[in-house]
Amino acid sequence: MIGQLKNLASNKNYKEALETKKMHFKRPYKGQKNLTEVRKSVQKFLEDSFSDTDSDSNNPPANAIKNIVQNDYVVIKLAGKKSERFYVGVIISQDAFDEYTVKFMRKCGKDKSTFPENDDIAEVGLSNIVNVLSQPSLIKREQYVFNENLEHNLT
């Protein structure tokens, strides 16, 4: 392309060379957005990010859950490779760095949970705790039923 531009310019077709150059840079590559679309998306991103930081300074984040104590039942969000999964667990202990030791439960039935035969225990950060649940009621076969409507897809 540059060689063609040099040839056109040397043949005193300077105007044609400039038009060819403009046409070359006006055409976006396959899948590439044009410049105005990019500017709009960047501007929207900046507006959204600055408006979020201003509102966060006045209000605490939605997932900021305080007053979690031992034996509280919680909903925990864990990120997988492709999606996020939600689990129910009970707080066993807490360390000084807002890390909690949680014993996870297993879903059995639509609205019932139970502890697995082999304990499933892990350390979880405060940022992964989505909700604190009320104490469940124990029914037959060591199954627990929570009063809250668990809107998350528990696994």
pLDDT 10s per residue in the chain (155 long)?
A: 555 555 545 555 566 655 555 555 555 555 556 667 767 776 676 666 655 444 444 444 444 566 888 999 999 998 888 888 889 999 999 888 889 999 999 988 777 889 999 999 999 999 899 889 889 898 888 899 888 776 665 65
> Domain for residue 80, yes or no?
yes
> Domain for residue 99, yes or no?
yes
Q: Is 22 helix (H, G, I), strand (E, B) or coil?
A: helix
> Domain for residue 136, yes or no?
yes
> Domain for residue 128, yes or no?
yes
Count of domains for the chain: 1
Q: Is 29 helix (H, G, I), strand (E, B) or coil?
A: coil
pTM of the entire structure?
A: 0.55
Domain that holds residue 89: 72-145
> Domain for residue 106, yes or no?
yes
How many Å apart are CA 23 and CA 10, to the nearest integer?
19
Q: Which residues contact 102 (CB under 8 A, 6 or more apart)?
A: 74, 76, 89, 90, 91, 92, 121, 122, 123, 124
> Domain for residue 78, yes or no?
yes
